[in-house]
Structure 1
């Protein structure tokens, strides 16, 4: 496969780092009531927001590879829509988390910096709505990311279309290409 069909090392690194943080955040998030990891959840959420902004800037300023020739028409459209949904969720989830932090009305420590309350605490019913939106978006991205991965596997191994191998580190991509 030519280098024109591969994602850059920076794009691959951002992709896998963001994926890892999303899954870690999801599993920390579903255990928040049973664990004392809320501080870690907040730090990782802020880190995720920074990573996603960097990824969007990278995406806008760098050429991404074309779709493999085997992917045409409706599949291209579905892939583009799917990626837009993922980008929306990757931004919306940490943003709703930030809104939860801001509306609590207390000092929050982010990356070792104490941030004073930016507003008076919001009433519990309104915060509950924001928390529910945050939760539903997080659940959506979890299942959407799993589906995204399954589609990549399907294209790679059932349709013999180089989708997954284009985003993997070269040593793994080479192993997949050589095993076909």
Structure 2
């Protein structure tokens, strides 16, 4: 029986989200190493703009997922593992929505937020308590995100290296194997 895979569009959104997150984090780390000034503003602009892209990607992913069910797990995946996977995925989606929203609440507190200098999201009147709350949630959220991503990647490595059950293949395009080159364990 062939392994059920995610649709190619869902796969593309998954890997595009992962790649965007890999860009997002270094932008803020670099920004923090500059003193206040143009360079720091530039790197924060990249971080905030990329965060906006993550938000759009996650909304698109959730919209797609609402209309297209995930493929079923292979029968070999235990129920407890399915529950943990669903919990991790749900928390990842939630965190990937909360982080851009709190980032916007921080950046837009009293000023517009430019997106790649192409357009700006409107700012709102300065609200110190809201800005502080957003800053606290955003800073704590980064560690939640690191933990969830690490768990997601660790589970993937476990399925690839230990279980060798092909579960990662669900999120990869089908491969054409030339005749006579089939892999045998």
Question: CA offset at residue 43 of structure 1?
Answer: 0.7
Query: Secondary structure of 2:97's partner?
Result: helix
Q: Secondary structure at the match of 1:68?
A: coil
For the structure 1 residues 178 and 11, does the alpha-carbon distance in structure 2 shift closer, same or farther, using more than 3 Å as the test? farther
Structure 1: runs of 5+ lacking an equivalent = none
Q: Does 1:178 align with 2:178?
A: no
Q: Please say if residues 68 and 162 of structure 1, whose CA atoms lie closer than 8 Å, have aligned partners that are also in contact.
A: no
Bigger mean CA deviation after superposition, 84-93 or 28-37: 28-37
Question: What stretches of structure 2 of length at least 5 have no aligned partner?
Answer: 35-39
Question: What is the RMSD of the two structures over their aligned residues, measured on CA atoms?
Answer: 2.3
Q: Which has the larger radius of gyration?
A: 2
Question: What is the TM-score of this pair, normalised by structure 2?
Answer: 0.83
Across the two proteins, how many residue pairs are aligned to each other? 173
Deviations 1:91-112 (A, max 9, x none): 1111111111222x02332241
How far has the Cα of 1:115 moved from its partner? 4.1
Query: CA contact under 8 A between 2:107 and 2:113: conserved in structure 1?
Result: yes
Correspondence 1:110-149 to 2 at 5 A: 110-111=115-116, 112-119=118-125, 121-123=126-128, 127-149=131-153
Name 1:156's counterpart in structure 2. 160
Matched, 1:59 2:58: no
- Change in 2 beyond 3 A, CA 1:40/1:98: same
Q: Are 2:108 and 2:122, in contact at CA under 8 Å, matched by a contact in 1? A: no
Q: Is the 2:104–2:113 Cα contact (8 Å) retained in structure 1? A: no
Alignment match, 1:106? 111
SS of match in other structure, 1:67: coil
